[in-house]
Structure 1
Amino acid sequence: MIAGMNRHLWKSQLTPYEADYARWCVEQGALLRAGRLDVLDRENLAEEIESLGRSQEDEIESRLNVLLVHLLKWKYQPEGRTGSWEGSIVEQRSRLLGRLTKSPSLKAHPASVLADEYISARLKASGETGLPRALFPEVCPFTIQQVLDSSFFPENR
């Protein structure tokens, strides 16, 4: 069906990117599979593919942030340690390492954003624990190797 349609007919029947994103995705996928490169929405398609890479970076940053919050809580509020904190630490590490395994080109990304992610993690940890912000170091007290090390759990203060 797709291969038999002429270019003009296809152009007039395609859903614009801005009108219905989900339908646009399905149509663009069908066009790619059919080899109809002449009617692809190349500019929007290229932007969407590039954004997939950025979303991987965003996921790494988000998981790193959650991991840092729980490592800080573990270290600075030992009396509040729970299985859920430990579970979150284990899960975030596992998901981070899984993402890095699937996208080896992003292996250096956690280290490159550690300082930035720590800034907000410090604020979140203070808010979630009720402990004064000044108690938490201004600079991340953990190396990226420690953060990602499945056997690392910070000692008490």
Structure 2
Amino acid sequence: MAVHYEHDAYAWALEQAGLLRAGKLEQLDLEHLAEEIESMGKSERRALVSQLARLLMHLLKWDHQPERRSRSWRLTIIDAQAKTNRLLNDNPSLKASLPELMSEAYEDARRAAAIETDSELHAFPEKCMYSFDEAVTFQPVEH
């Protein structure tokens, strides 16, 4: 191998892609290649949890502070819904894990909503009150 994984991950990745395309399988750095593929999958999972947490936090704020509802909150909800759906469309196998991912995201959302609304954590339900479908189809309307 001309490029070492620990010294230049980007150059290493390009080299590995070139070796794959050329069919030079015996020259591949299989151990690091497997790690990178696993990491890519974990990254997609983390991105979905992050978008779900962002969406759920804004839904909690929307419900908890109706007097502060704004165009900005509405647009953030719509954007998080779109990005969540895009991530799921790109990674449909994550749909099987939605209950677990929603639960994980809700814990993050609940903490963030408490901080952003200057409220106590117990002001928000311990269990997520939104199903996935409800969260991604909610239509925020300002008063």
**TM-score, normalised with respect to structure 2:** 0.90
* Matched residue, 1:96: 84
Cα distance, 1:42 vs structure 2: 1.0
User: Within the alignment, does 1:85 sit opposite 2:68 as a pair?
Assistant: no
Match of 2:39 among 51, 54, 64: 51
Q: Aligned pair count? A: 141
**TM-score, normalised with respect to structure 1:** 0.83
Structure 2 portions without partners, runs of 5+:
none
Cα distance, 1:133 vs structure 2: 2.4
Q: Distance in 2 between matches of 1:89 and 1:53?
A: 25
Cα distance, 1:104 vs structure 2: 1.4
Structure 1 portions without partners, runs of 5+:
1-10
Is contact 1:57-1:109 (8 Å) kept? Answer: no
* Matched residue, 2:116: 128
Match of 1:108 among 88, 96, 100: 96
Q: Distance in 2 between matches of 1:19 and 1:64?
A: 35
- Point out 4+ residue stretches in structure 1 off by more than 3 angstroms: none
Q: Distance in 1 between matches of 2:121 and 2:22?
A: 57
Structure 1 residues 93-140: Cα deviation after superposition (integer angstroms, max 9, x where no partner): 111111111221111333222222212211110110112322211111
User: Within the alignment, does 1:41 sit opposite 2:45 as a pair?
Assistant: no
Percent of aligned positions with the same letter in both sequences? 40
Higher gyration radius (CA):
1
Is contact 2:49-2:104 (8 Å) kept? Answer: no
